[in-house]
Amino acid sequence: MKNAVQSIVVAVLLLLSVSSAFPQSDDTEWDRLNQEVLSLYEQGNYDQAVSIAINALGLAEKNGGENHAYVAGSLNTLAGLYIAQGMYVQADPYYKRLLAIYEKNLGPDHPETIKCLFNLAELYKVQGKYADAEPLYKRVLAIMEKELEPSHPNVAAILNNLAGLYQSQGKYAEAEKLYNRMLEIDQETLDPNDPDVANSLNNLASLYDVQGKVAEAESFYKRALAILETASDPESPAVAVSLNNLALLYHRQGKYAQAEPLCKRALAIKEKALGPVHPSVAISLNNLAELYSDQGRHAEAELLYKRSLAIQEKVLGPNHYILGVSLDGLAELYCIQGRYAEAEPLNKRALAISEKALGPEHLAVARSLSGLAELARKQGNLAEVETLCKRSLAIREQALGPNHYEVAGSLNDLAELYRLQGNYSESEPLYKRALEIREKALGPDHPSVAVSLSGLAELNRKTGRVQEANALDQRAAKIRAMER
């Protein structure tokens, strides 16, 4: 039901479409060029496909003017080609121009305009441009609510995406309100065991998970999994996604024995349903690799990371932003093993891919910068660590606001650096700010809170405040001892 609203994920399937809302005309050469684009796209020859698509756009502009239907079709094609490669920065101007054409020729509330608004909102969200995405989602939601019943599936779909945007920004109360409204719509209009009900439960579980509300998250993940296993084929990709969510929850709690069989089952389902060379299979390989890495099973982890990278490079090309996750993961593994010379080029490649595909202020860039900072710290290059940490912190504050838990992570890294340098006066306020953010955003008993408490305890010990240090250590130990 929720796929009734288009997203950029399916943009490549619409590469050669021209809206039927436009007057149609015959242009044999434009059609020929676009068939060539499609053939090149299917062969994975994206560079040549883009070149031909640009030629088709020029021809459409020359023959029909800048607002012609074929111009709109070519703009949609070019945006789709860049999205297929994960090059969202490059897709951005084509969607903006396409939206302007739709608004002028079809009106602000036309279905094609709404679809383009939604795609542009999704594009901004992927790039981390949350302030740009939010008004577009809200505009789509307002149009949907005006034209459809409040319980219509398309309304629920927009609520889902807007809630996801709020969750990414750390606006958890706003996200929970929308997720609950979406769940109410599903429960009102659907069978209790409908897969869309499971999707809503998964979303709420994810929200609770990121806040450290482990019991609530586990309960909702299990309810969603039970519905999917009952309502659909237990070997379907949807079941694999649900298994993966529950596995990640256990992984973060250190419950490796419970996480591993779920990861393996999810991987087996995807390989059977989608084939061994599929981007979704690569995601499961990454998850299992990270699990093995955290258990010290480095050789097994390395093989999985490399297999994941090989799949992504073959299917998505060498410059897709998704490769950054695998590259950074493998780099972290090498860093743990002291294989610094092998780790550094992987981090740098991930950074270059993310900067080009997503822009220099994207959160994926901050992730790669943090990896490079850790690598520099391990090698004693503390001046370089400071530069990298500060840039990572600036990106996260700009994208997420000053009170997001990811910002707290960067603050904690910088505080630790200053502590190691003996710069206690600069370290202490950063530790305290990180601790305050984590307590507020994640709750006082979250494992991340224990990390900040331990760092602050060590600083107190270094500055002769032993009693305060012991109290902080005791609180951290109490958090870590909790049944999670």
**pLDDT at residue 18 tops 60:** no
**pLDDT at residue 11 tops 60:** no
Q: What is the DSSP string of 146-165?
A: HHS-TT-HHHHHHHHHHHHH
**pLDDT at residue 9 tops 50:** no
Please report which confidence band the pLDDT of residue 100 belongs to, taking 50, 70 and 90 as the band edges.
Answer: very high
Find, among 98, 105, 69, the residue nearest to 83 by Cα: 98
Same CATH topology for 1-177 and 393-484: the answer is yes
Find, among 247, 319, 277, 245, the residue nearest to 82 by Cα: 319
Please report which confidence band the pLDDT of residue 26 belongs to, taking 50, 70 and 90 as the band edges.
Answer: low
466, two tokens: 């032993």
Instruction: In whole angstroms, give the CA distance from residue 374 to residue 392.
Output: 12
Instruction: In whole angstroms, give the CA distance from residue 46 to residue 91.
Output: 13
Tell me if 252 sits within 8 A of 273, measured CB to CB: no
Where do the domains of the chain lie? Answer: 1-177, 393-484
**How does pLDDT run across 429-483, given as a tens digit for each residue?**
999 999 999 888 778 888 889 999 999 999 999 999 999 999 999 999 998 887 5
**How does pLDDT run across 334-360, given as a tens digit for each residue?**
999 999 999 999 999 999 999 988 889
Tell me if 40 sits within 8 A of 84, measured CB to CB: no
Mean model confidence pLDDT for the chain = 88
> Which segments of 253-381 does DSSP mark as H helices, in order?
256-274, 279-294, 298-316, 323-336, 340-358, 363-378
> What whole-number percentage of the chain has pLDDT above 70?
94
Query: What's the pLDDT at 300?
Result: 97
Chain-centre distance for alpha carbon 280: 14
**pLDDT at residue 400 tops 90:** no
**How does pLDDT run across 173-219, given as a tens digit for each residue?**
999 999 999 898 888 888 888 998 999 999 999 999 887 788 899 99
Tell me if 392 sits within 8 A of 426, measured CB to CB: no
Average pLDDT over residues 127-143: 91
> What whole-number percentage of the chain has pLDDT above 90?
57
Instruction: In whole angstroms, give the CA distance from residue 276 to residue 286.
Output: 14
Find, among 284, 358, 323, the residue nearest to 88 by Cα: 358
Average pLDDT over residues 11-24: 46
Query: What's the pLDDT at 134?
Result: 94
* Domain 393-484 in CATH 3.40.50.300: no
Instruction: In whole angstroms, give the CA distance from residue 289 to residue 219.
Output: 26
Topology of domain 1-177, per CATH?
A: 1.25.40
Any idea which of 9-13, 18-22, 65-69, 301-305 has the lowest mean pLDDT? 9-13
Query: What's the pLDDT at 15?
Result: 46
Tell me if 328 sits within 8 A of 369, measured CB to CB: no
User: What pTM, to 2 d.p., does this model score?
Assistant: 0.79
**pLDDT at residue 268 tops 90:** yes
